[in-house]
Amino acid sequence: MKNYVIIGNSIAGTSAVKAIREIDKENKIILISDEKYLNYSRPLISYLLAQKVSSDRLNYLPNDFYQKNNVELLLNKKALKLDIKDKNVLLNDKSKIKYDKLLLATGGTAIIPQISGLDCEGVFNFMKLSDIEKIEKYLKKNKVKKSVVIGAGLIGLKATEALMNINIKVSIIEIADRILPMTFDKQASEIYEELLKIEGCEIILNNSAVEIRQDSKSKVCEVILKDDKKIKTDLVIIATGVRPNIELAQGTEISTNRGFLVDKKMRTNIDDIYAAGDCCEPTIAILPVAAKQGKIAGYNMAGLNKEFQWLISMNSVELCNIPSISAGQTNVSSAENIEILSQLDKEKNVYKKIVIKENKVIGYIFVGSIEKAGIFTMMINDKIDISSFKDSLLNEDFGLINLPKEFRKHLVIGAGIEV
């Protein structure tokens, strides 16, 4: 009997389960998770805190998924060490799990900044469902009226929106010159900055927290910034970024850089060990990529020969009821052969930016009007020559009809439908 062992119960791990079971119905699958939950969608945890969804709506798989797929699920078990020579995973309860094929789907872990006072009561991360449960428990026991969110990336802004939705005043601190600096350009960021300010959010840019102070009861009461500004607060959220969780590589010969290094089959440099999702490199930390990588890893673990096709970077976020999508190369310098088309309607909070190189779209940002995003994503993926219709890209009536006839025929025949 062969043992497939998967460390990680998020989308990459469960996608691998599905792929393995397509090929292999008999051999054993053991899935190890250091969390206590069957499964849940991490993008929804901010909506749980905001009281927009209930906890029973967080699952993205039915509860009988593991039983139907004959998976031995080990919850609340942390993988501490890998014994590559004997092919064992050592768990925190001192048990050993034997593997024939191993998938590392350990995801990401929060980057903790060098700030004194992080051990104060009332300081939280915003990564997992357990973080939300801790925050909710703290809110019930304390009269929280003001909060500080350190970091204005996607996680920080979703935390901000959730706190504002339950009537807690928020001050965001961001070291960059704009919110969502890794996703947006300054123009797109300013749209959301203005909307957040209108709703009462304080945004502090080009600054950073250096100290968190506590009161006589050891609870957070104040945040000190680099410029000596002091912010009174009842709660602090740390949202300064995420890094791949590669702790299990310590003491092994598994190759890592920022994450586990993998080839197109999602294999590491060690025989029978694979990696998928936010823990591996190269990758893009979005759900569709993690799902696809997990699927490719599962197929190859089960004996198929499949390769992962790298996807373009893409982010989708809705804040203050305004949706946005960005993809490809958007924060570009004034390099040769780069052309930028843009359109702004401040009254409607609509912004469009298209980045072009050598008559091909290489990136875009759409804020407020995202209906055509799929078409532009196809243009990036298929490297379509836009020279014959470039002038119409920003037109309201631009659509598939504007694309070259041979490409539209390609879509109808079927090859492009997967995109």
pLDDT tens string 85-109: 999 999 999 999 999 999 999 999 9
**Per-residue pLDDT tens digits for 292-335:** 999 999 999 999 999 998 778 888 889 999 999 999 988 876 66
Strands (E), 226-349: 230-232, 235-238, 242-244, 260-261, 273-275, 280-281, 314-319, 322-328, 338-345
Q: Which CATH architecture has domain 326-413?
A: 2-Layer Sandwich (3.30)
Helices (H) and strands (E) in the chain, counts: 9, 25
The residue to which tokens 């005043």 are assigned: 169
**What pLDDT, on the 0 to 100 scale, is given for residue 334?**
65
**Per-residue pLDDT tens digits for 7-59:** 999 999 999 999 999 999 999 999 999 999 999 999 899 999 999 999 989 99
pLDDT-derived band at 397 (thresholds 50, 70, 90) equals: confident
**What pLDDT, on the 0 to 100 scale, is given for residue 406?**
64
**What pLDDT, on the 0 to 100 scale, is given for residue 396?**
86
Name residue 353's amino acid: K
Name residue 256's amino acid: T
Please state which CATH number belongs to domain 3-40+60-109+249-301.
3.50.50.60
Taking the C-alpha atoms of residue 146 and residue 164, their distance in angstroms, rounded to an integer, is 10
The segment(s) of the chain belonging to CATH 3.50.50.60 are 3-40+60-109+249-301, 123-239
Question: Which has the minimum average pLDDT: 116-130, 359-373, 378-392?
Answer: 378-392
pLDDT-derived band at 348 (thresholds 50, 70, 90) equals: very high
Q: b vs e for 25-49, b when ≥16 Cβ sit within 10 Å of the residue's Cβ?
A: eebbbbbbbbbeebbbbbebbbbbb
DSSP letters of 297-331?
HHHHHTT----PPPPPPEEEEEETTEEEEEEES-S
CB atoms within 10 A of CB 388: 11
**For the residues 357-365, what does the mean pLDDT come to?**
93
CB atoms within 10 A of CB 283: 25
The segment(s) of the chain belonging to CATH 3.30.390 are 326-413
Joined together, the tokens standing for residue 28 give 């054993």
pLDDT-derived band at 419 (thresholds 50, 70, 90) equals: very low
Taking the C-alpha atoms of residue 308 and residue 102, their distance in angstroms, rounded to an integer, is 18
Find all residues with CB under 8 Å of 248, minimum gap 6, and list them. 7, 79, 81, 82, 104, 106, 254
Taking the C-alpha atoms of residue 92 and residue 336, their distance in angstroms, rounded to an integer, is 54
CA-nearest of 65, 18, 17, 16 to 37 is 65
Taking the C-alpha atoms of residue 127 and residue 36, their distance in angstroms, rounded to an integer, is 15
**What pLDDT, on the 0 to 100 scale, is given for residue 417?**
36
**Mean pLDDT over all residues of the chain?**
92
Taking the C-alpha atoms of residue 165 and residue 172, their distance in angstroms, rounded to an integer, is 15
Task: Select the CATH number that applies to the domain covering 123-239 from these four: 3.50.50.60, 3.30.470.10, 3.40.50.620, 3.40.720.10.
Answer: 3.50.50.60
Q: SS3 for 153?
A: coil
Find all residues with CB under 8 Å of 66, minimum gap 6, and list them. 31, 38, 73
**For the residues 210-230, what does the mean pLDDT come to?**
96
CA-nearest of 263, 300, 293 to 8 is 293
**Per-residue pLDDT tens digits for 240-259:** 999 999 999 999 999 999 99
Positive or negative CA dihedral for 71, 76, 284, 378? positive
**What pLDDT, on the 0 to 100 scale, is given for residue 418?**
35
**For the residues 381-404, what does the mean pLDDT come to?**
85
**Per-residue pLDDT tens digits for 181-209:** 988 999 999 999 999 999 999 999 999 99
Taking the C-alpha atoms of residue 67 and residue 192, their distance in angstroms, rounded to an integer, is 44
